[in-house]
Amino acid sequence: MPIRSKVTSTVTTDNRPVASGFSRRISSNKGIRRENFVGWLFVLPALVIYAVFVLLPFLLSIQYSFFRWNGVSPATWVGLKNYITVFQVPDLLGTIVNAFWLVVWFSLIPVALGLVVANVIHRVATGRLGAIARTVLFLPQVIPLVAAGIIWGWLLALQGLVNQILSVIGLGSITRAWLGDFDFALPSVGVIGIWVLLGFCTVLLLTGMTKVDPALYESARLDGASWFREFVSITVPLLRNEIGVCLTVTVIAALAAFDIVYVATAGGPGNATSVPGIQIYILAFTQRQIGLASALAVMLMLLVVLIILPIQWLSRTEDTR
């Protein structure tokens, strides 16, 4: 009898911790599932809005790109003919070329200038002066792009402030209607893009510079490194993520440019500043070539993806690859 009771008590005492641990795991799993469910409930409205206003139009654009359709009459299947037309018509292909030129003006120049300006502010303009500089540079990012296009349209007009300043300083011979000149219209739009995006790049890069360990600069100075060597060897490599974000945002702004170009030049003179966004609008709402406009829009989306993915991969640090 004593042996039986001892065995029974051992079994019961050994099973209790197992049962209690199993019940705790069950309760914790239920808690995790409940939290996930509540989390999805919060995300659901945003997912629905994104699906209705982004994913569905995107899928419809892909569908329409294989048809000839004016938006009213029955659509006619044409297969890849719309995509072939984009490459065969010089005006349509020229919009993509103009978009690549805008990448230089909207992306490469603002990021390069932003690095220089942010480095100067980080070294020289500290405290209140630095705060004022950041605010002034970031103001164009707050101004609506339509308003920015209108303001710069006035400034770059034949009798605008820019030409008046050039005349005062003795450069009246180069004055012109900058946005109406075939050779200077696209660079003039690019200057507007630089003005808008420089502040964003500068503030983002300046924020990244504040995270760099000052000991690295002190060590470089002890080794006799110049400020340029510090900038190239320390600042730029450690700002890889910030530079990647700047390039991603500005490249998308360049390839998808519409509002600034439409307000400033409407794609003119001729097709000198015509970009894919302008041409898609004209094809869809003026010429009612929905299929061709959708094909150009899909090609623009693929172009953005093909450019952004390498930038994202190159901008990642070694430990995140």
- Residue 147 in this model has a pLDDT that exceeds 50: yes
pLDDT tier at 50, thresholds 50, 70, 90? very high
150-188 confidence digits (pLDDT tens): 999 999 998 999 999 999 999 888 999 999 999 999 999
Looking at residue 290, its pLDDT comes to 94
90 in the same domain as 50: no
Average of per-residue pLDDT across 84-98? 91
- Residue 15 in this model has a pLDDT that exceeds 70: no
Looking at residue 60, its pLDDT comes to 93
- Residue 17 in this model has a pLDDT that exceeds 60: no
Q: Write the CB contacts of 134 (distance below 8 Å, at least 6 apart in sequence).
A: 121, 202, 203, 206
141 within 8 A of 200, measured Cβ to Cβ: yes
In a domain, 226, yes or no: yes
Burial grade of 3 (CB within 10 A; 0-12, 13-18, 19 or more):
exposed
- Residue 191 in this model has a pLDDT that exceeds 90: yes
106 in the same domain as 47: no
- Residue 221 in this model has a pLDDT that exceeds 70: yes
Looking at residue 289, its pLDDT comes to 93
Looking at residue 25, its pLDDT comes to 62
122 within 8 A of 212, measured Cβ to Cβ: no
Percent pLDDT > 70 in the chain is 88
Of 243, 245, 270, 118, nearest to 180 by C-alpha is: 270
Q: Which of 12, 34, 64 corresponds to the end of one domain? A: 64
In a domain, 73, yes or no: no
Range of the domain at 56: 2-64
How far is the C-alpha of 243 from the C-alpha of 204, rounded, in Å?
9
Which amino acid appears at position 307 of this protein? I
Looking at residue 143, its pLDDT comes to 86
Highest mean pLDDT: which range of 8-17, 38-47, 206-215, 275-284: 275-284
- Residue 265 in this model has a pLDDT that exceeds 60: yes
Average of per-residue pLDDT across 221-227? 85
Looking at residue 131, its pLDDT comes to 80
How far is the C-alpha of 25 from the C-alpha of 3, rounded, in Å?
34
Looking at residue 9, its pLDDT comes to 43
Average of per-residue pLDDT across 259-272? 90
- Residue 12 in this model has a pLDDT that exceeds 60: no
238-251 confidence digits (pLDDT tens): 999 999 999 999 99
Counting the structural domains of the chain, the total is: 2
287 in the same domain as 189: yes
56 in the same domain as 176: no
Average of per-residue pLDDT across 24-30? 62
169 in the same domain as 28: no
Average of per-residue pLDDT across 93-97? 91
Burial grade of 318 (CB within 10 A; 0-12, 13-18, 19 or more):
exposed
107 in the same domain as 58: no
Looking at residue 29, its pLDDT comes to 66
In a domain, 79, yes or no: no
